[in-house]
Each structure stands twice: as structure tokens, then as C-alpha cells.
RNA sequence: CCAGGGGGCUGGGCAGCCGCGUUGUCGUGAUCUCACCCGGGACAUGCAGCGAGGAAAGUCCGGGCUCCACGAAACGAGGGUGGCGGGUAACGCCCGCCGGACGCGAGUCCAGGGAAAGUGCCACAGAGAGUAUACCGCCGAUGGAGGGAGACCUCACAGGCAAGGGUGAAAGGGUGCGGUAAAAGCGCACCGGGGCGGUGGCGACAUCGCUCGCACGGCAAACCCCACCCGGAGCAAGGCCAAAUAGGGGUGCCGCGUCUUCGGACAGGUGCGUUUCGCACCGAGGCAUCCGGGUUGGCUGCUCGAGCUGCGGGGCAAUCCGCGGCCCAGAUGAAUGGCUGCCCUUGCGAGGCAGGUGCCCCGAGCGAUCGGUGGCAUACCGUUUGCAAGACAGAACCCGGCUUACAGGCCCCCUGGCACU
């Protein structure tokens, strides 16, 4: 039973940004292989979304989503990062759940939007 | 009942399923580890306890704590505070009181020391703005000119005045009477103000008496003066452990010794051994500065504290004292949650609906009125049902304040008005 762990350093978040990218109305899912670290997740909600109360609530709801979905549908040995979007604030929970399942499936099949940060280094 | 003033409290409730953080003389373990057992530690899991706010916010004051600096201290610089008394660890906070301004009142507001130490400023308007002034105006007693027999009249030249008009935020005390040619603290009364004294009060101050004809406009959130207070930086403070870097390069300054047959020898430096001394290595580098490279993990600080609460007592109060009880977040990409149901509050909509209310109908009664499986209406009270909404806002070392944000609800005291008894 691989336990879910979180990613927490800035470098890991930046690395995830170069992986697969699937955008949904409420959030953007990033997925990237992490070289045998198991399933890990991270959440990013920027100041643009709202004040501390709004951001914290969004993180908690995302965390609840990920804990429910990842053990079954998550990509093994990948880092999963959810980025909050404006429309995800107080979005219907069932919709979010469906969108996450959809996004994970797309990611599993290797389909995603092109990485945002194009060509660097 | 209407309008208003002051103060305090609260900040949705209950339940179910699935989760998170932390604590435990707690239980479990074919797990890992110290070191094989015992035992300890780690990890997982079960159980039990606890788990955001009144502002956790802004980071504006005051402290605790930590490190740094410092001979006590004084003076100076810089910053702050500013009626008086009290509370406090302390404060720029709080309470009470004083003074002023506003309000019919309950009450509210005040950066509220000094303008008689000095400097400075007072825009515009206005004649004049702090050495007062004279635009319009008033007078013209006195002197002058003219007239008249004279009383006196005319002129407004000398001159007198600052009452009235006008300007302004402010015009060098105010009102009234007397006085005068017209005026003026010129005189008087009252009010205001200065000085001296008495009384009351811890005090700010109040009050009374005498006295002075009035001198002292405003601004100190202008400089300034006076009194009092203040060392600096902050939990990314500070402490411990682990890991990593392995000694690279540039520039500047100083130095690079003596002998030599150029192989070395001596002097010198470093390390080791207990030492005279021996062995090994170095024999050109040293210092300063800049660049480059590496680490930016864990534990601790870290939550029991100027703590919360009940009762009793002192005090008008802020608050203090005594006794008893309680343990109440410690996260770190940052726990305290996700979903659902019922209830509560508010708003919007729907159904006349077994209630109320109004009208009608029928019946009874002389009548007030009463009765009805009766009809209609219902905006109001109520009821059923559907939908929506439930504020401001998330601890980050900890306290005491201030300020700002905030849906709704509850309680207490007081004022003015209306009505009733």
C-alpha cells in the first residue's frame, strides 16, 4: 500500500510544471513522473483567487478530492499538482469529482495540453 | 407605543458516513531499528482527550523572551508623550474627575502644558492684521473765513472722533446709562479679563473678597521653550545535531635568503615521537580583497500563561485581594476538513387551507348578541410547501491595548414625546 505523500518544495512544483497538463473549468491538473517516489500530490492556489479563507477552503476541498481519487485512478509514480482557478471557488463538489476523474484518465492516456513553459534551458 | 442615547453578550444548532493534526504511566504488532532476549526508539493501527477568532486581520503602541552593544552615570542628538488623580508589568490604553464646545435631554466630542523667553506666519478682501488704521462717515466746541445790530447762522480751511457703515476667520474687551461739538473706560453698573488674598479640594480647579480701567488677538498638528519617557535588532531571535563544501581563480602589497662544481649543502617552515635530538615532507609563500563553489535538512525555542472560571471581600469605577475548581491549538506547501440529512433565522414564490380576521347567507332572540361539516375574501397574524441566502474573516513565539471589517440575534440602563391608569 503506497501511502500518499505531498510534495512541498518549490523545485518539485516547478518540475511538475514541465509535465502533462490538463485544464478543467475548476482547476488545472499537472502530472509528471517522479522516478519511483510513489503517488504524490500538491496543491497550488495563488493570491489571485482570493483571501486566506477562500484559498484555504479551496485547498481543503482539493485535498479531499485527491485523497478519494488518487489511490484508484492516480498515475503510479507520478507527481500530481492541482492548480486552483477562479471558477473552482465553491464549485459543485460532484462536478469537481467528475472533472478530476476525467482529467486523470486523459493524463493516463498521455493526452494533455502542451506544457506551458515552452522551451527553456 | 414612537424617536433617541449609553453599555454588555452572541457570531447558527444536532446527527450520520469518510478524513486530518496533536497528546497519552493506554492497547495491538510475523514491520523496522539499537544489540539476540528483556527493554527502549521508530512506524502503522485501535481507543480516549483536545483542536481557530472576536477581531486569529492591520502590524499602530506597550511588555515578556532571545541575541548584540555598553563602566555606573551625566550631558547632548534623535524620537515620543502632554489637564488632574487613580489602575496596570507597561503603555500613546482603561477608569474617575476638572475645563471647554455641542445637544431640550440621556449624553457626545476635544493634540486640553507654555503665545508675559525669542523668531516667524495671519492668504483673499479691506483704509487698517499687531508699531494698529481712517475709505465712506460724524463733529467743527476751539482757531479761521463770510454774513448779521445781536443772539447766532453759513463754510468745512486748520483740527477733533472712531460711535455707525463697509471688508474679513479675526478690527485692539462686551451691553446699557451718563457724558460730549461729535466721541472715547472719559465716568458709572453688570458681564468678561489681570493681580493679590481667603475658603474648599490630594489635585486639575471651583468659589468668595479686595483691587486694577484693561494691559495680554489667533496659530506651538510653525520653529521653539518646559516637564516626563525611550540602547539596537528580532522566533528567519537564539541553542543543539546532522549533512555538504576539501581548500579553485583574479587583483594589490610584502617576501622569494647564503654558498655552489647547479647534483646539492646550510639556514627556515610544517607534521610525528616525552626530550638534547631524529625522521618525513615543504622549500615559496603570506596577508588583504573580490569572484567562483557548497549548504540552505532535523530537533529545540513551543506553549501553564500579567491564563480561564465560580464564590466571597475592598473600591463610584478601571481594577485589586483571598479561597476553590479547570488545562484550553501547536500546524510548518502549513492540521482543525469533505459530503449528506433534519432543525433554526431571513427573503422570495405558491396553495384558501381544518385556525384567526372581515363581509355575506341561514337559523335563534325585542335587542346587544349567539349558533352553523355554510359561502366568499385574505394584503395582516398563523399554517403547509418549494427555492435561495446565513456576515467579517484562518492561529504561525506569547501576552496587554488601539484601529479597522462585520449578516443577524439577545439582554440591561437611561432620555424626550404621545396615550392610558
Would A113 be classed as within a structural domain?
Answer: no
Sheet holding A78-84, edge to edge: A5-6, A40-44, A78-84, A27-33, A20-23
Cβ contact A23 with chain B strand, < 7 A: no
Would A74 be classed as within a structural domain?
Answer: yes
Cβ contact A61 with chain B strand, < 7 A: yes
Cβ contact A111 with chain B strand, < 7 A: no
Would A27 be classed as within a structural domain?
Answer: yes
Maximal CA-CA distance, chain A? 41
How many domains does chain A divide into? 1
Cβ contact A44 with chain B strand, < 7 A: yes
Would A117 be classed as within a structural domain?
Answer: no
Cβ contact A34 with chain B strand, < 7 A: no
Which nucleotide has its C1' atom closest to residue A56's CA? B394
CA of residue A24 to C1' of nucleotide B349, angstroms: 36
pLDDT in tens, chain A (121 residues): 345 667 766 667 777 777 788 888 888 888 888 766 667 788 888 777 778 788 888 888 888 888 778 777 778 778 888 888 888 777 788 888 888 888 888 888 877 665 544 333 2
Nearest in space to A101 (alpha carbons), one of A64, A68, A73: A73
What ipTM did this prediction achieve?
A: 0.75
Measured to protein CB atoms, the chain B nucleotides within 7 Å are 19, 52, 332-340, 393-395
Cα separation, A10 vs A14, in Å, equals 6
Distance of CA A82 to CAs A29, A62, A119, Å?
5, 8, 22
Residue-number span of the structural domain to which A78 is assigned:
4-108
Distance of CA A102 to CAs A8, A24, A44, A73, A114, Å?
25, 9, 20, 10, 17
Would A51 be classed as within a structural domain?
Answer: yes
Residue A53 sits in a domain of what CATH number? 3.30.230.10
Would A119 be classed as within a structural domain?
Answer: no
Sequence length of chain A is: 121
Would A114 be classed as within a structural domain?
Answer: no
Would A99 be classed as within a structural domain?
Answer: yes
Q: pTM score, two decimals?
A: 0.68
Amino acid at each position: 500500500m503506497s501511502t500518499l505523500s505531498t510534495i512541498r518544495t518549490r523545485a518539485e512544483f516547478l518540475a511538475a510544471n514541465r509535465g502533462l497538463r490538463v485544464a478543467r473549468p475548476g482547476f488545472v491538473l499537472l502530472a509528471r513522473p517522479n522516478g519511483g517516489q510513489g503517488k504524490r500530490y500538491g496543491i497550488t492556489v495563488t493570491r489571485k483567487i482570493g483571501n486566506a479563507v477562500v484559498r484555504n477552503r479551496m485547498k481543503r476541498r482539493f485535498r479531499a478530492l485527491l485523497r478519494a481519487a488518487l489511490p484508484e485512478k492516480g498515475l503510479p509514480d507520478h507527481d500530481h499538482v492541482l492548480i486552483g482557478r477562479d471558477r473552482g471557488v465553491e464549485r459543485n463538489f460532484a462536478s469537481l469529482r467528475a472533472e478530476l476523474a476525467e482529467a486523470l484518465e486523459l493524463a493516463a492516456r498521455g493526452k494533455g495540453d502542451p506544457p506551458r513553459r515552452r522551451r527553456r534551458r
